[in-house]
Structure formats: structure tokens, C-alpha cells
Amino acid sequence: MAYVIQKQFIIDTQDKSVGVSLPFTVGNNGFFAVTYTTKEQIKSDLKNLILTNRGERLGIPDFGCDLRKVIFEQDGEDTYAYIQNEIQNSISIWLPFITINGINIVSNNESKDNNRIDVQLNYTLSFAGNNSRDSLNITV
């Protein structure tokens, strides 16, 4: 009889790295900077997912969000709804262990003049019986 093994993340220790931090920067060992906790790596993976356009990732054409296409669009509720839907749909497919608590789109004159979108994402990580809240600020 088959039984389900509970998904567990690796134990977070300071002596072993979990993954590569994004954006790429030079680390202490001369190579790329790395993350040492699962929470840091998930935040880095989330940033990678949101800032990647569909079709950019080789071999996985559906990976990412198409947020750059709204940079030059008119500011309004339709644009904000599109951004929220893109983020929610992508996270539900690629990072299903993240629960979105809120998406705030910051709109002020400075960001409009520079053709950028500031997004604040509040989320909860649910894995291995552990619920942890975090937030991520992204400028597109």
C-alpha cells in the first residue's frame, strides 16, 4: 500500500547554503552570493518569478509574470487588477506553498514620471507545519 510522505524542506543551517541569491552579486567566497535559510531562498525565488517575463526562461516558456507590458499603460484599476491577477496566478502555479495576504501597488508622481511600478507583496509561507509571514517590495 502506498502512503504519502510529508513534504519537508531541508534543515536551515548556517554551514550549508540553500541556493543562489537574486539578483546575482559577488559572494564572500568569490562566486555568487548564496542564501542560508529556506525563507531567504523562497523570497529570492519569488522575486525571480515576478521579474521574469513569460518566454524568457529557456525550456519553461510559461514561467514568470508579464508585468513589464503594463509599464507604459495608463494608470488605473484595470492595470492594477491585471498586475494582481498575474502575480496570484503565477504564484499559485509555481510556488503553491505561498499564500498571498495582500498586494499593494504604490502609485505616486515620482513613479509615474519614471515609468515604473512599485509593488508590495505580503505573504505567508506554509510548509512543514510552519507558518511564517514576510513581505517583498519590487520595482518593475
Distance in angstroms (rounded) separating the CA atoms of residues 135 and 39:
11
pLDDT digits (tens, 9 = 90+) for 107-127: 766 655 566 778 899 999 876
**Predicted confidence band of residue 88 (pLDDT cuts 50, 70, 90):** very high
Question: Is residue 101 scored above 60 in pLDDT?
Answer: yes
pLDDT of 132 above 90? no
Higher confidence at residue 133 or residue 71?
133
What pLDDT is recorded for position 9? 55
At 108 the pLDDT is 66
> What mean pLDDT do residues 1-19 have?
61
98 neighbors 46 (Cβ within 8 angstroms):
yes
pLDDT at 136 exceeding the cut of 90: no
Asked if omega into 96 is within 30° of 0 (cis), the reply is no
Q: Which helix (H) or strand (E) holds 46?
A: helix 38-51
Q: Whole-number mean pLDDT of the chain?
A: 80
Among candidate residues 116, 14, 106, the one with its CA nearest the CA of residue 72: 116
* Residues constituting the chain: 140
